[in-house]
Structure 1
Amino acid sequence: MDRRLIGALAIVVVVLLAGCAGIVGSADAPDEAEPERTVEVTASGEATAEPDRATITVAVEARGDSPQAVREEIANDDEALRAALAEWGLEDDQIRTTRYDVRQERPRPEDDSDGSTQYVGIHQYELEIHDVDAVGEVIDVSIDAGADRVQRIQFGLSDERESELRTTAFENAVENADANARTLANSTGLEIVDVYTISTTDHRVSPYTARADAAVAEEPGDGGAPTRIESGEVTVNVDVHIVFEAESGA
Structure 2
Amino acid sequence: MLRKQCEWFRFTELRSKILSIGKLVLTFRLILFHKCSDLEVYAVEAAEKGYGRILFTIVALLLISIALSIASLALTLQSQGTLSEKQLSSSAKLGLPSSLAQAIQSALQTKTITVTGEGEASAPPEIAVVKLSVETFRENASDAQKENFEITSRVINMLKQAGIAEDQIETTSFSLTPIYEYSYGSKYGETEKTLVGYRCVNSIKVTLENISMVGEVIDIAIAAGANRVSSVSFSLRDETVKALQLQALANAVSSAYSKATAIAEALGVSLKEPLTISTSTYYVPRLYFDVEVAAVGKPSITPPSELSVSASVTITYSFE
Question: What's the % identity of the aligned pairs?
Answer: 29
Q: 2:157 aligned with 1:79, yes or no? A: no
The 2-side partners of 1:108 and 1:182 are apart by: 70
Runs of 4+ in 1 over 4 A off after TM superposition: none
1:120-162, CA deviations, whole angstroms, 9 ceiling, x for partnerless residues? Answer: 0111222211111111111112112221111322222122322
| Greater relative contact order structure (CA < 8 Å, 6+ sep) | 1
Structure 1 residues 227 and 89, CA gap change in structure 2 (3 angstroms): farther
Query: Residue 185 of structure 1: CA displacement?
Result: 2.3
Query: Which one has a larger percent strand, Structure 1 or Structure 2?
Result: 1
TM-score by length of 2: 0.56
Map residues 209-228 of structure 1 onto 2, 5 A cutoff: 209-210=287-288, 213-216=291-294
Contact 2:115–2:260 (CA<8 Å) still a contact in 1? yes
Aligned residues: 201
Structure 1 counterpart of 2:269: 190
Say if 2:202 is the partner of 1:123: yes
Within a 5 Å distance, the mapping from 1:43-192 to structure 2 comes to 43-109=117-183, 116-192=195-271
Q: Helix, strand or coil: the match of 1:230?
A: coil
1:206 paired to 2:284:
yes
> What is the CA RMSD across the aligned residues, in angstroms?
2.7
| Higher gyration radius (CA) | 2
Q: Could you say if the C-alpha distance between residues 131 and 227 of structure 1 is closer, same or farther in structure 2, counting changes exceeding 3 Å?
A: farther
> Conserved in 1, the CA contact under 8 Å of 2:180 and 2:197?
yes
**Whole-Å separation in 2 of the counterparts to 1:186 and 1:122:** 65
User: Could you tell me how far apart the structure 2 residues matched to 1:42 and 1:96 are?
Assistant: 44
- State which of 81, 95, 112 in structure 2 corresponds to 1:38: 112
Give ranges in structure 2 of 5+ residues lacking alignment: 1-109, 185-193
Q: Distance in 2 between matches of 1:185 and 1:97?
A: 60
Partner in structure 1 of residue 95 of structure 2: none
Per-residue deviation, 1:59: 0.5
Higher helix share: 2
Structure 1, residues 10-44: CA drift from partner, whole Å, max 9, x if none?
A: xxxxxxxxxxxxxxxxxxxxxxxxxx843222222
Distance 1:197 1:241 in 2: 8
Q: Quote how far apart the aligned CAs of 1:67 are.
A: 2.2
